[in-house]
Amino acid sequence: MSKFLKIAASLAMLGGSAHAETFGLGREALPEEIAAWDVAVRPDGTGLPEGSGDVWTGEEIFVEQCAVCHGDFAEGLDNWPKLAGGEDTLDHADPVKTIGSYWPYLSTTWDYVNRSMPYGNAQTLEPDEVYAIVAYILYSNYLVEDDFVLSNETFSGVEMPNADGFFVDDRPETEYPKWTGEPCMENCKENVEVTMRAMVLDVTPAGEGGEAAASDTAAPADEVSAEPAEEAEVEVAAIDPELIAAGEKVFKKCKACHQVGDGAKNRVGPILNGIVGHPAGQVEGFKYSGALSGMADDGLIWDEDNLSAFLADPRGFMKGTKMSFAGLRKDDDLDAVIAYLSDFAE
Amino acid sequence: MSTKTERTEEAMTRGPSRRNFLRGAAAGTALIAGGAARAATPDPLITEVQPWASGFGDPVDAHPYGLPIRFEDDVIRRNVEWLTADTISSINFTPIHALDGTITPQGCAFERHHSGAIELSKQDYRLMINGLVDKPLVFTYADLERFPRENHVYFCECAANTGMEWAGAQLNGAQFTHGMIHNMEYTGVTLRTILEEAGLDAAGDLTDKWVFVEGADASSNGRSIPMEKALDDCLIAFKANGEALRKEHGYPVRLVVPGWEGNMWVKWIRRIEVMDGPVESREETSKYTDTMADGTSRKWTWAMDAKSVVTSPSPQAPITHGKGPLVISGLAWSGRGAITRVDVSKDGGKTWQTARLAQPGEKMALTRFYLDTDWNGEEMLLQSRAMDDTGYIQPTKTQLREVRGLNSIYHNNGIQTWWVRPTGEAENVEVS
């Protein structure tokens, strides 16, 4: 009873009614369910699973899973986030905020990689892989040596450079009193000059319809049911199932931007159903780069040779492509991913 | 919509609509020629029987769920491509320059995703509450509909709204400078009801407790909210403007955190955990923290301070009617209370006039203001300045920069200036 009163007092203090009515709705969450979803890691390391990973293992995984966007050295490609560098820039004109220069807690990196990465293939990493990736990111920021092993045990020994760089919102003290009272209505200033003008003019896109949202629900049913017979006749028997399976793994690198299979949609990159042997630049509703459109106009066909050459070195094969992918280094990977893609008819 | 319906509709409208177009074009020319206060020739739109006054319009069911008429097809969300690396983790902007009133239609309300807008059905939806509660629970969507419901209108503003303008006037249009905002009527269950259903005895003293909320999408966006706010006015919402939430706004269930930055309004909310401290997740440390000139950063800057903008005239909504009666209109809002007053200046802040509020300000909701005026055809430096019921006055951008410097990214609520030219065109500028 006394416990109840204590809660009642707290609730009242928080400005609400003390009476907590319950409705008997919902069911008790099972421990396995809580374990599956409750993966949050706190600044003191609470929530970290047992495990470990070293810098070099981390580099391998990073190059495979993360470098497409973040660069081999976590330096960030194009507009994708930089994860390393930027130390001593926070008070500069354009601060470079990275894990090393800005993030106050190591737990945040672990938690974020674990729950949200790799982009387009999230929540697939094993704890040891997350430890390894985070170890590599720390190494890329010169925060640990190359023989470092990050684990639930060594976690608390890592110091984040900007740990003391934050303070709790002080607007109530520093701003609100300053900007309160009776505002000026007449003769508020002597002169008014235009000091700055919009530097980026005409940013409004030309009048295209907002079709993306509406067409999502309308199209697929018709398209799928329209041509079932023809698809069945496409010969797929010749392709080695093991090679296709290997290709599916390689395709994880592509998944952040490309979809294949039933219900695939254009994402950052176009749908790849039926791409092998198909003329380039033909996927409906996808905006290709000028480079690709140009080569498509010249009759580029995505046969195995061209696809192989493109995937091995996208920018070399097609100067100006917007596909921000470094390229597949191994011939085996190229063969496998092309086998995998040829398994998806248009 | 079935194919059959579409064909029928097409057959019924094709003939007349083509004729409409030709006649309309001819009539338009005549109007431009005789568009002064006194018509030189009779207006054929009046003197001739028009197709729509003679033939049929669409039957019922032509559009079982209707979209705006085609003449309004430029009133859409737009993004700025160079802002983000791709459109999966990105943002677009509400066309506030073309809307009136206060309620934002869902179909053009801005979107912000971290890993794309997912498709999650009511059947597949689960909400878990765990942590320092008496009994961890799992709810289905159907369970949520059995708790007592509330209706409230709230604005949702991204903390980065106007964030591109810290270093100076950059984007040319109210949609782009101020369009990371929408305002809807939400129906839902209070977060307090859900917390009490699980029981808070186990949490002990509630004053130092937190609630961590996270989404079901691949980004699993998670934010920590102090218990005081969680028990005060947060909603577990499943309807907006009377209908189900749109996919892009978190269907079937999102969190509503009135007056606080949009990132906390977790979409597809799947888990609520009562904790004895904040998680310090990526979105509350590396992002949504405000860096000052000296390189230190404010954290937990949740509340959206009072702010306003003239939506018309503005760069995307120029004056096209010449001098004479002009309606200057805009929006004002405060995350810390209700708007009590909006002043408008036509001369860059030398003198101000108090605008008319269309309705009395509501707490943490958009307020529409009007200044009904007579334009003399001369240039204007149009500004608006909001005040809320805490007594706070919207500051100038210069005042903000004096406190925060140029690198804050978030929470730019400074006074906006549109330079309206004698031609009626307007440009985003800053003034001394």
- The residues, any chain, with a CB within 8 Å of residue B47's CB and separated by 6 or more, are none
Q: A299: how many CB neighbours lie within 10 A of its CB?
A: 8
Give the model's pLDDT for residue B10: 37
The Cα A46–Cα A61 span in angstroms is 25
Q: Is B205 on the interface with A (CB under 8 A)?
A: yes
Q: Are A162 and A105 in contact (CB under 8 A)?
A: no
Of the pLDDT bands very low, low, confident and very high (cuts 50, 70, 90), residue A81 is very high
What rounded mean pLDDT belongs to chain B? 92
Q: Are B124 and B186 in contact (CB under 8 A)?
A: no
More confident: A132 or B167? A132
The Cα A260–Cα A345 span in angstroms is 9
What the block records as the tokens of A271 is: 């749908």
Of the pLDDT bands very low, low, confident and very high (cuts 50, 70, 90), residue B21 is very low
What rounded mean pLDDT belongs to chain A? 82
Q: B89: how many CB neighbours lie within 10 A of its CB?
A: 18
Q: A330: how many CB neighbours lie within 10 A of its CB?
A: 10
* Among A7, A79, A268, beta carbon nearest to B201: A7
Q: Is residue B3's pLDDT more than 70?
A: no
The Cα B334–Cα B366 span in angstroms is 8
Nearest chain B residue to A175 by CA distance is B403
Nearest chain A residue to B145 by CA distance is A25
Residue B297 host element (H or E): strand B297-299
Give the model's pLDDT for residue A315: 76
Which residues of chain B are within 8 Å of residue A4 when distances are taken between CB atoms?
Answer: 201
Which amino acid, B88? Answer: I
> Inter-chain contact A189–B74, Cβ cutoff 8 Å?
no
Q: Is residue A130's pLDDT more than 90?
A: yes
Task: Give whole-number Cα distances, B198 to A33, A36, A39, A40, in Å.
Answer: 16, 19, 20, 20
Which amino acid, B404? Answer: R
- Rounded to a whole number of angstroms, the distance between the first and last alpha carbons of chain B is 55
Of the pLDDT bands very low, low, confident and very high (cuts 50, 70, 90), residue A214 is very low
Q: How far is B381 from chain A (nearest CA, A)?
A: 9
Q: Is residue A242's pLDDT more than 60?
A: yes
The Cα A262–Cα A150 span in angstroms is 40
The Cα A74–Cα A98 span in angstroms is 10
The 3-state secondary structure of B150-187, one letter per residue? EEEEEEEECCCCCHHHCCCCCECCHHHHHCCEEEEEEE
> Inter-chain contact B108–A80, Cβ cutoff 8 Å?
no
> Inter-chain contact A222–B207, Cβ cutoff 8 Å?
no
**Four-residue CA torsion sign, B139, B141, B145, B146:** negative
Give the model's pLDDT for residue A200: 52
Find residues 296-325 of chain B whose CB sits inside 8 Å of chain A.
296-303, 305, 315-316
Residue B238 host element (H or E): strand B235-240
**Four-residue CA torsion sign, B78, B81, B83, B87:** positive
Give the model's pLDDT for residue B343: 98
- What are the tens digits of pLDDT across the range B49-64? 999 999 999 999 999 9
> Inter-chain contact B3–A222, Cβ cutoff 8 Å?
yes
The Cα B118–Cα B96 span in angstroms is 25
Interface probe for A, chosen from B189, B274, B281 (most Cβ of A below 10 Å), is: B281
* Among B350, B392, B394, beta carbon nearest to A189: B350
- Model confidence, pTM: 0.78
Q: Which residue is associated with the tokens 């200036």?
A: B417
The Cα A292–Cα A315 span in angstroms is 11
* Among A23, A171, A192, beta carbon nearest to B350: A192
Q: How far is B49 from chain A (nearest CA, A)?
A: 31
Q: A262: how many CB neighbours lie within 10 A of its CB?
A: 9
More confident: A322 or B179? B179
Map residue B270 onto helix, strand or coil: strand
The Cα B214–Cα B200 span in angstroms is 19
Q: Which residue is associated with the tokens 């400078």?
A: B177
Q: What are phi and psi of B193, to 5 degrees?
A: -60, -45
Among A203-212, A296-305, B180-189, B343-352, whose mean pLDDT is lowest? Answer: A203-212
> Across residues A301-309, what is the average pLDDT?
87
Q: A207: how many CB neighbours lie within 10 A of its CB?
A: 8
Task: Give whole-number Cα distances, B221 to A80, A334, B90, B350, B395, in Å.
Answer: 18, 35, 14, 44, 32
Q: What are phi and psi of B51, to 5 degrees?
A: -55, -40
**Residue A344 DSSP code:** S
Give the model's pLDDT for residue A202: 53
Q: Which residue is associated with the tokens 């290997």?
A: A246
Nearest chain A residue to B223 by CA distance is A40
Q: Is B279 on the interface with A (CB under 8 A)?
A: yes
Which residues of chain A are within 8 Å of residue B84 when distances are taken between CB atoms?
Answer: 79
* Among B196, B282, B293, beta carbon nearest to A112: B282
Map residue A27 onto helix, strand or coil: strand
> Inter-chain contact A179–B302, Cβ cutoff 8 Å?
no
Give the model's pLDDT for residue B25: 39
Q: Is B395 on the interface with A (CB under 8 A)?
A: yes
* Among A21, A25, A187, beta carbon nearest to B143: A25
Q: Is residue B15's pLDDT more than 60?
A: no
> Inter-chain contact A197–B295, Cβ cutoff 8 Å?
no
Map residue A207 onto helix, strand or coil: coil
- The partner residues of B186 in beta bridges, in order of sequence, read B152, B240
More confident: A296 or B18? A296
Q: Is the ipTM of this complex over 0.85?
A: yes
Which residues of chain B are within 8 Å of residue A174 when distances are taken between CB atoms?
Answer: 403
> Inter-chain contact B87–A268, Cβ cutoff 8 Å?
yes
- What are the tens digits of pLDDT across the range B76-91? 999 988 888 889 999 9
Find residues 62-101 of chain A whose CB sits inside 8 Å of chain B.
69, 78-80, 90-91, 93-95, 97, 99
Q: How far is A217 from chain B (nearest CA, A)?
A: 10
What is the strand order of the sheet B380-388 is part of? Answer: A194-197, B426-431, B417-420, B380-388, B339-345, B353-354
Q: Are A272 and A278 in contact (CB under 8 A)?
A: no
* Among B140, B228, B407, beta carbon nearest to A14: B228
- What are the tens digits of pLDDT across the range B73-129? 999 999 988 888 889 999 999 999 999 999 999 999 999 999 999 999 999 999 999
Q: Is residue B256's pLDDT more than 90?
A: yes
The Cα B155–Cα B260 span in angstroms is 9
Cβ contacts from A onto B, under 8 A = 295
Give the model's pLDDT for residue A15: 44
Q: Is B388 on the interface with A (CB under 8 A)?
A: no
pLDDT exceeding 90 applies to what percent of chain B? 87
Alpha helices in B252-303, H assignment, sequence order: none
Q: Is residue A238's pLDDT more than 70?
A: no
Give the model's pLDDT for residue B397: 97
- The residues, any chain, with a CB within 8 Å of residue B321's CB and separated by 6 or more, are B424
Q: Are B253 and B235 in contact (CB under 8 A)?
A: no
Give the model's pLDDT for residue A94: 87
Task: Give the E-state strand segments of B46-115 in sequence order.
Answer: 90-91, 112-113
> Inter-chain contact A168–B169, Cβ cutoff 8 Å?
no
The Cα B354–Cα B337 span in angstroms is 19
Which residues of chain B are within 8 Å of residue A179 when distances are taken between CB atoms?
Answer: 392-395, 399
pLDDT exceeding 70 applies to what percent of chain B? 91
